[in-house]
Amino acid sequence: MLATLAACGGGGGSSTAATSPTTPSTPSTPTGPSTPASGTDVVTYKNDALRTGQNVTESVLTTANVNSSTFGLLRNLQVDGKVDAQPLYLSKLTVAATSHNVVFIATENNSVYGVDSDSGTTLWKVSLNGSGETPSDTHGCFQVVPQIGITATPVIDRAAGAHGTIFVMAMTKDASGNYHQRLHALDVTTGAEQTNSPKEISATYMSTTFAPGQYEERAALLLLNGVIYTTFTSHCDADRRPQCCPERIGFRQCQPGSGNLDERGWTGGGFRGQCVSAHGQWSL
């Protein structure tokens, strides 16, 4: 499989943007032997919690320089599976004592990559399949094929953990045929699991218990006030309401600015990415 990077030929970094839905303190700019040109961080699906897709800090791209001679394909990157999740981006991230602009790519094979966006070099790669596990089969459905692993766009909290944390939801199947949904908190500089990560999704609402094999996490993760919200959909878009209505599960960071995970509860349901307005209005 290939992941594609495109950008303006006149600059060294990405020019897309994101506004973090949380309000952590802004970390100091990393330093290293080299200082690449940088863009605005893209830490969540469609750039902000409202899912607008806009870049309010754009200062390079214009109708004059976005043309076939100066804007377009930079390179194709080889990855190990289909990419359904939106790639994310951090500028001037210190990895192994060197400053990099980093693109984060997640595949349906449950792999996560940290790639230098300027050179195309893979800085790190991790698999979120547990021992003896594979990504889930398709359950005979056509929405996500040929396997189900990481479908939902992850979310990044640059202030969480020692270096920043990317939160990723992965679906797996073990050797006994059991399915698992796990939320992973990975260090953005190495891909290593943070404290108490991963967190197995398990919850009970009244007399109903969440069945991980019946659902997949397609909608983008939402980070809001230190809580990660996930939204599950049924395979084949089948009506699972008699078996399970609540589908949104929240996890909070145990301490402000940490990458630790602790289950908070679950409510509601939905299909598309959750969005939150500036006034705190929440919709699916």
Which residue type does 102 have? V
Domain that holds residue 219: 14-26+35-56+77-283
Q: Please write the tens of the pLDDT for every residue from 220-234.
A: 999 988 888 888 877
In total, how many domains does the chain have? 1
Q: Is residue 70 part of a domain?
A: no
Q: Please write the tens of the pLDDT for every residue from 24-70.
A: 333 333 333 345 666 799 999 999 888 888 998 988 888 888 998 88
Is pLDDT of 262 > 70?
Answer: no
Bridge partners (DSSP) of residue 6 are 73
Q: Is residue 137 part of a domain?
A: yes
Q: Is residue 154 part of a domain?
A: yes
Q: Is residue 69 part of a domain?
A: no
Q: Is residue 3 part of a domain?
A: no
User: Measured at the alpha carbon of residue 214, what is the angle toward residues 138 and 80, in degrees to the nearest 5?
Assistant: 35
Query: Whose CA is closest to 157, among 21, 13, 17, 15?
Result: 21
Query: Whose CA is closest to 29, among 181, 158, 172, 205?
Result: 158
Q: Is residue 143 part of a domain?
A: yes
> What's the pLDDT band for 143 if we cut at 50, 70, 90?
confident
Q: Is residue 62 part of a domain?
A: no
Q: Is residue 133 part of a domain?
A: yes
DSSP 180-234: EEEEEEEETTT--B-TT-SEE---EETTEE--GGGEEE-SPPEEETTEEEEEEEE
Distance CA 276, CA 223 (A): 10
